[in-house]
Structure 1
Amino acid sequence: MKKISVLLLMMLLAASLLVACGTKTEAENEPGEAGVAPSAAPAASPSAAPSRDPESAAETAETRVITDELGHDLTIPAKPVKVFAPYMEDSLVSLGVKPVAQWANGDAVQEYLQDKLGGVPGISFTGGLPPSPEAVLDLAPDLIILHTAHYAKDGVYEKYSKIAPTYVFNNAAGDLKGSITKLGELLGRPAEAELALQAHELKVKEAKAKLAPYVEGKKAALINFNGKGMYLIGGNYFGGYVLSQELGIGKSKLVETENSADVSLEIVPQIDADYIFTINYQGTGSAFIQELTGSPIWKSMPAAKAGHVYEVSDKYWTGSGLIAYGKIIDDVVRLLAHE
C-alpha cells in the first residue's frame, strides 16, 4: 500500500513539471513589443496582429514609384490630396478632383470651369511663364503635374521637384484621352478616368449621328482672332481637334499638314470650308474681325454667302479637356443640326 502511495506521488510531481514547462514555452513564443520581454507586455486583444514598423508599412502602402514622360523617376502618394496641375483643371474636374490652385492668365481663369472651381485661387502664367517656386511652395502640394515639357524648361523642373514630386507630360493636350488615363493612374482614380472617357465617347457617337446629314462631304474651318492677328486652328488642338478628329468633319487644305495657318485677305479665298467658326479671343481680335468680315472678298466666300459663319465662345473652344470638348460638341450640334 505504501509503495502504491509513493508511486502515485511521483506521478503527480512529474505531471506538474510537464505542465509548468509547457506554460513557459508558450509564453516565450508569444509576440511582444520589440525589446520588451513578453511578461512585461500589456495583454493583447484576441484580434491584435503582430506589430511592425508603422513608418515602413505606411511607405509601402501609401507611395508608388513611377516614371514621367521625360524619364524622371519619382515617388508619389498612392492617392494624392493636394494636386497642382495647371491647365489640366478640366481633366481634374472630370475625375472629381479639385486642385489647390488653378491656371490663370493674369487674373483671368478658365471661366467655363468656375461652377466647379469656385474658391480655388488662380496662379498666373502670364506670358506663358510658370509661377515662381516660392508661389508654388505656398500651395503645399503633394503632387505637381506639368501638362507640357515647355513648363519644365530652364530649371523649373529642378526647382518644383524640390517642393513636391513632379510629373511632366510631353504634351498632354496632344493626346487628351491618353493623358486622362494617365491622370487616373497618378491620382488613384483609374475607374473615374475610364467612366469619363466612356461617357465622352458616347456623346461623340450621338453627335455624329445627328450631324451626319449636314456634314457628309463638308469641310469646316476654325479661325482665331486675337490682338496679334488671325489664324486657322488645325485639327490637332482645341476646337479644331473636335471638329475634325472627333466629329469627322473635313478641314481646309491650309491646315491639312499644319497645326495652324496665318490668315490674311490674300489667303481668305483659299479657305475651302463650308462652315466657318470664329473666335474673338478675350475680345482682343475685334479690329481684325471687322477688317476681314467687312471686306468684299470675305462676303463673296461660299460659307459667308450661305450664312454658315458662326462666332463661338473663346472660353472653351480654346480649352483642352472633356468638359470643353463636350461644350464644343453641343455648340456644333446646335448650330449645324439646329438642335
Structure 2
Amino acid sequence: MRIHTKFIGLFTVILSILMLLAACGNSNESSKPKNDQEKDTALTDAMGKVTIPADTKRILAPYMEDSLVALGITPAAQWSIGTAVLDYLQTDLKDVPKISWDLPLEQTIEANPDLIIFSSKASIQKGQYEEYKKIAPTYVYKDEDSSNWKKQLQVMGKIVGKQQEAEDRLSGYEEKTKKASEDIKKAIGGQSASIIWVAGDQYYLFENTRFAANVLYGDLGVTQPQMVKNLPEAKASWQPLSLESLSELDADHLFLVSKPGEAGLTKLKESSVFKGLSAAKQGHVYDMEDPSHWTINGVIANELTIDQITKSLAK
C-alpha cells in the first residue's frame, strides 16, 4: 500500500512537470510573431485609416486589373461597360466574371470580395463609401498615387503584400524601355510619330501626356510633331478633332488605334486629308486593332504598346 502511494505521488509530479513544459511550449508558440504576410496591414488612404485583412483572396479593383494581374493576382470580378472589357488582359481574365464599371452594390455583394479598391474618391458612385465598407474593407487611392501608373503599382504592391514583386516589374519595365528606345532611335533617328484613336466616327489625337503617348514620347523618346506640341493640356475627357483639322498633322509616322470596321476609320482612309498626310505618303501608317492597351495606363498595357511601337518603327 505504501509503494502504491509513492508511485501515485511520483506519477503526479512527472505529470505536473510535463503539463508545465507543454504550457511553456504553447506560450512560446503564441508569443512568436506572425509571418509578415499573415499580419493585417494598417494603411492610410484617401479616406483615412484602413486595415487590410491578412487572408485577403477576393479583390475588386475596377479598372486597376492591370496592376493586380501584374502582381499575379486574379480579381474576384473584372471591370466592364456592357460587354466591353479590357481586351488585352483577357488571356488572364477570360473566365473572370464581369462587374459593371460603377460597382452596383448588388453586384458587389454577389462578387463576395474580401477587399474593395477604388482608384479615387471620384470613382465611388453616389457617395456610397459607407455602404461598400459594410461589404468589405475598402481602400481608396489618393489622387497623387493613382494618377501615376508606376506609383499605382507600388501602392497596389503594398496593399496586397507584394511590394518586391511590384519593384521587380518596374525594374523589368525600365530595362525593356531602354532597349526599345535604343532600337527605335537607330531606326528612325529624330523622325516624329503620333497616335490617333478612332472610335465610331470620332477622331482623337493623343496629347503628349495621354496614355500611350506617355510611352511613345516620355519613355521611348520619340519626337513629337508640331501639331501634338500645340495641343492644349490633356483634360479628363477626350476632345475629338474634325477630319479636316487632321490635315495639319505633320507626323512622319502615324499609329491608328481602332477596332476593325469602325466607320470613322474607313472614312479617314478614303479622305483626301489622309492621303495628303506625310505619314501616309511615306507608307508609315500602322493599324493597331486593339485600342484597349493604348487607352489605359499600366505596366502590362505599356509593355504591349512598346512591343507594337518597336515592331512598327524599328523594322
TM-score by length of 2: 0.83
Residue 277 of structure 1: aligned partner: 255
Distance in 2 between the 1:181 and 1:154 partners?
28
Distance in 2 between the 1:158 and 1:41 partners?
52
288 and 115 in structure 1: CA distance in 2 versus 1, 3 angstrom threshold? closer
Q: Which amino acid aligns with 2:27?
A: P
103 and 153 in structure 1: CA distance in 2 versus 1, 3 angstrom threshold? closer
- 1:283 positional shift: 4.8
Q: RMSD across aligned C-alpha pairs, in angstroms?
A: 3.0
Distance in 2 between the 1:46 and 1:155 partners?
51
Q: Secondary structure at the match of 1:255?
A: coil
Q: Is residue 131 of structure 1 aligned with residue 103 of structure 2?
A: yes
Higher mean displacement: 43-52 or 169-178: 43-52
Q: Secondary structure at the match of 2:27?
A: coil
157 and 218 in structure 1: CA distance in 2 versus 1, 3 angstrom threshold? farther
**Aligned to 2:44, which of 50, 67, 70?**
67
Q: Is residue 310 of structure 1 aligned with residue 282 of structure 2?
A: no
Q: Which amino acid aligns with 1:268?
A: L
- 1:175 positional shift: 0.5
Aligned residues: 293
214 and 263 in structure 1: CA distance in 2 versus 1, 3 angstrom threshold? farther
- Please say which structure displays the higher CA radius of gyration: 1
- 1:215 positional shift: 4.1
Q: Is residue 240 of structure 1 aligned with residue 213 of structure 2?
A: yes
**Aligned to 2:140, which of 146, 162, 168?**
168
Distance in 1 between the 2:191 and 2:47 partners?
42
Matches within 5 A, 1:260-299: 261-280=239-258, 282-283=259-260, 286-299=262-275
**Aligned to 1:152, which of 89, 107, 124?**
124
**Aligned to 1:102, which of 58, 61, 78?**
78
| Contact 2:77 2:111 (C-alpha < 8 Å) held by counterparts | yes
Distance in 1 between the 2:82 and 2:239 partners?
27
Residue 120 of structure 1: aligned partner: 96
| Contact 2:120 2:140 (C-alpha < 8 Å) held by counterparts | yes
Residue 142 of structure 1: aligned partner: 114
Distance in 1 between the 2:24 and 2:90 partners?
49
| Contact 1:233 1:261 (C-alpha < 8 Å) held by counterparts | no
Higher mean displacement: 232-241 or 189-198: 232-241
Deviation sequence 1:278-335 (CA, Å, 0-9, x none): 122x457x22222222221221111111111111122322233211111111111111
134 and 51 in structure 1: CA distance in 2 versus 1, 3 angstrom threshold? farther
Residue 183 of structure 2: aligned partner: 210
Distance in 2 between the 1:215 and 1:147 partners?
37
- 1:90 positional shift: 1.4
Identity over aligned residues, as a percent? 34
Distance in 2 between the 1:77 and 1:46 partners?
29
Distance in 2 between the 1:52 and 1:323 partners?
42
Mark the runs of 5 or more structure 1 residues left unpaired by the alignment.
Answer: 1-26, 28-37
Deviation sequence 1:256-291 (CA, Å, 0-9, x none): 6335542213311222311111122x457x222222
Matches within 5 A, 1:50-65: 50=27, 62-65=39-42
Distance in 2 between the 1:41 and 1:139 partners?
49
| Contact 1:231 1:261 (C-alpha < 8 Å) held by counterparts | yes
Distance in 2 between the 1:292 and 1:304 partners?
11
